[in-house]
Amino acid sequence: MEPLFAILVGLFFTAAVYLMLSKFSIRIMLGIAILGNAVNLLLFTSGRLTREVPPIIPDGLDALPAGAANPLPQALILTAIVISFSLLAFLLVLTYRAYQDIGTDNTDEMRVAEPDEPTPPPVGY
């Protein structure tokens, strides 16, 4: 099962990088969301995929049994899901506000502070 998840993680990373290299801010946001899911899936895969033995320490033992899944990546993923959701909500509001003010989501056209015609540097003082 791990090789299938490894291929899926690779596809997620590829799609995320492709979308984040776009010049449209909505595609960049989707790329960031997919990148977060790829990292979560990578952490989940690294913690051993098993259904037979739950990550619970039985009575009388001090550690997990040998074939149990690692609970640490699962806890990290729960935290990462909350953080990535809040980051995505913030980016969505920021992008929507920029679209309201500027009227486009193309990052090449969002250069409000830069002049249209570049002025040459001063020749002398």
Three-state secondary structure of 84-104? HHHHHHHHHHHHHHHHHHHCC
Whole-number percent of the chain with pLDDT over 90? 46
> 27: burial class by Cβ within 10 Å (0-12, 13-18, 19+)?
middle
Interval 63-108: pLDDT, tens: 877 777 777 888 888 999 999 999 999 999 999 998 998 888 888 8
- Report pLDDT for 87: 93
9 within 8 A of 41, measured Cβ to Cβ: yes
Nearest CA to 55 out of 37, 77, 84 is that of: 77
Give the mean pLDDT of the chain: 86
Please choose, from the candidates 77, 38, 35, 74, the residue with its C-alpha nearest in 3D space to the C-alpha of residue 54: 74
Confirm if 23 and 107 have CB atoms less than 8 A apart.
Answer: yes
Q: 0.85 cut: is pTM over it?
A: no
Q: In the chain, where are the structural domains located?
A: 2-51+67-102
